[in-house]
Chains A and B, each alone.
Chain A
Amino acid sequence: MNKIKVLIINNSYVISSGLQNILNEIAEITYSNIEFNEKNLLNDVAKFNPELLIINELVFKFLKLEKQTTTNLLIVIGDENKESHKYFINTLNDNKSTVISLIRKCITENFEKPTKIKNESLSSRENEIIKYVAIGFTNQEIADKLFISKYTVITHRKNITNKLNIKTVSGLTVYAILNNIIDINDVN
Chain B
Amino acid sequence: MPEVRLHPNTDVLLEFAAGSLSPAQAVAVSAHLFYCPHCQAKSGTLDAIGGNLLADSEAVSVSVDCRSDVMAQLDTVGTASPEKLEINDAAPQGVRWKNLPPLVNRLFRESGISWRHLSSSLRVARLPVGERRFELALHQIKAGGSAPAHDHRGLEITVVLHGSFSDDEGVYHQGDYITREPGHVHTPIATANTECVCLSVLEAPIRLVGRFSRLFNPFLSFMPV
Q: Do A and B bind each other?
A: no
Using a CB–CB cutoff of 8 Å, the interface residues on chain A facing chain B are none
